[in-house]
Amino acid sequence: MAELCVKGVKIEVRHGSLLDLEVDAIVNPANSMLRMGGGVAGVIKRVGGEVIEREAVKHAPLPVGKAIATTAGRLKARYVIHSPTMETPGPTTREKVYKATYAALKLADEMGLRSIAFPGMGTGVGGLKPIEASEAMFEALVELLERGLRVERVVFVDLNERVVEAFREKLEELRGGLRE
């Protein structure tokens, strides 16, 4: 695990499952229809229960750049924040991953959540390279840190070691570039 505290926010990078973390919310890198068939969404639904998808689809279609929160069912987290990285399952872009990350962090902040965990947004079905996704994700985080993000803990976690390495690289760049 690697970690850094910036402006009162603890930022962590971990190798492992999003579902194992003790956090207020986990992020589902959804599609706009909020159907939870494969990838991270499919695992969230299988472990947490169908109730998560049933609650989510009531908000469909949800455009990229918007996020909603649902129950987390049987998961350890209290909420699942669904933030589309693409309109339909398929390729995404760095800009869409930035917007999805920004929307999820902003919603967590507005809800008064203390902790949130992200997988590699857009790195599965979205087809984005891990370094591109992590650049977009950290860019959104830094922008919200500068605007006074009140979330106390942000965790970047993935089972794919290449994604985790990309997260670590961006964390080290952040360590070198920002001052408290």
- What does the DSSP assignment read for 24-45? SEEEE--BTT----SHHHHHHH
Lowest mean pLDDT segment, chosen from 43-47, 86-90, 167-171: 86-90
179 pLDDT exceeds 90? no
115 pLDDT exceeds 50? yes
Q: Quick one: average pLDDT of 29-40?
A: 93
Dist. CA 13–CA 2, nearest whole Å: 5
Dist. CA 166–CA 71, nearest whole Å: 30
**How many C-beta neighbours within 10 Å does residue 20 have?**
12
100 pLDDT exceeds 50? yes
Dist. CA 20–CA 174, nearest whole Å: 26
pLDDT number for residue 180: 43
What would the pLDDT profile of 54-63 be if each residue is shown by its tens digit? Answer: 999 999 999 9
pLDDT number for residue 178: 59
Q: Quick one: average pLDDT of 89-107?
A: 96
Pairing of strands 79-82, 68-71: antiparallel
Radius of gyration of the chain (CA): 15
Q: Quick one: average pLDDT of 79-88?
A: 96
pTM, entire model: 0.96
Q: Quick one: average pLDDT of 47-59?
A: 98
Percent of the chain clearing pLDDT 70 (strictly above): 98
Q: Quick one: average pLDDT of 91-111?
A: 98
CATH architecture of 2-177: 3-Layer(aba) Sandwich (3.40)
What would the pLDDT profile of 122-146 be if each residue is shown by its tens digit? Answer: 999 899 999 999 999 999 999 999 9
Q: How many CA atoms lie within 13 A of 59 on its CB side?
A: 20
Q: Which residues contact 7 (CB under 8 A, 6 or more apart)?
A: 145, 148, 149, 180
